[in-house]
Amino acid sequence: MPPGATVADAGEFGLISRMVDLFEMGEHVLVGPGDDAALLRIRKGHVVVSTDLMVEGRHFRREWCDGADVGRRAAAQNISDVNAMGGRAHSLTVGLAAPADLPLAWALDLARGFAEECRLVGASIVGGDVTRADQVVVSVTVLGTCTVAPVLRSGARPGDVLALAGRQGWAAAGLAVLGRGFRSPRAVVEAYRHPEPPYEAGPAAAEGGATALIDVSDGLLAEAGHLAEASEVAIDVRTADLDVAEPVAAVGAALGSDPLQLVLSGGDDHALLATFPPGVGLPEGFHAIGTVAEGSGVTVDGGAWEGAPGWTHF
Q: What is the DSSP string of 201-263?
A: HHHHHHHTT-SEEEEESS-HHHHHHHHHHHHT-EEEE-GGGS---HHHHHHHHHHTS-HHHHH
Are 93 and 202 within one domain? Answer: no
> What is the C-alpha to C-alpha distance for residues 86 and 45, in angstroms, rounded to an integer?
12
Are 132 and 166 within one domain? Answer: no
Q: What is the pLDDT of residue 311?
A: 65
Is residue 305, in this structure, part of any structural domain at all? no
Are 173 and 130 within one domain? Answer: no
Walk along the chain (314 residues) and give the pLDDT tens digit of each residue. 788 899 999 988 888 889 989 888 888 888 888 777 778 888 778 899 999 999 999 899 999 999 999 999 999 999 999 999 999 999 999 999 999 999 999 999 999 999 999 999 999 999 999 999 999 999 999 999 998 999 999 999 999 999 999 999 999 999 999 999 988 899 999 999 999 999 999 999 999 999 999 999 999 999 999 999 999 999 999 999 999 999 999 999 998 989 999 999 999 999 999 999 998 999 999 999 999 999 999 999 999 988 777 766 55
Q: What is the pLDDT of residue 312?
A: 62
Binding site membership for ATP: which residues? 128-129, 153, 217
Domain boundary among 130, 146, 162: 146
Is residue 179, in this structure, part of any structural domain at all? yes
> What is the C-alpha to C-alpha distance for residues 175 and 190, in angstroms, rounded to an integer?
10
Binding site membership for Mg(2+): which residues? 36, 50-52, 81, 129, 215, 218
Look at phi and psi of residue 196 and say left if phi exceeds 0, alpha if psi is from -120 to 50, else beta. beta
Q: What is the pLDDT of residue 27?
A: 87
Are 274 and 163 within one domain? Answer: yes
Q: What is the pLDDT of residue 9?
A: 92
Q: Residue 119 phi/psi, 5° resolution?
A: -65, -25
> What is the C-alpha to C-alpha distance for residues 40 and 32, in angstroms, rounded to an integer?
8
Is residue 265, in this structure, part of any structural domain at all? yes
Are 247 and 229 within one domain? Answer: yes
Is residue 110, in this structure, part of any structural domain at all? yes
Binding site membership for substrate: which residues? 59, 268, 311
Give the distance from CA 83 to its chain's centroid: 9
Is residue 239, in this structure, part of any structural domain at all? yes
**Domain span including residue 199:** 153-300
Are 26 and 138 within one domain? Answer: yes
Neighbours of 87 (CB within 10 A): 27
Are 48 and 139 within one domain? Answer: yes
Are 198 and 251 within one domain? Answer: yes
Binding site membership: which residues? 36, 50-52, 59, 81, 128-129, 153, 215, 217-218, 268, 311
The number of domains in the chain is 2
User: What global pTM score does this model have?
Assistant: 0.89
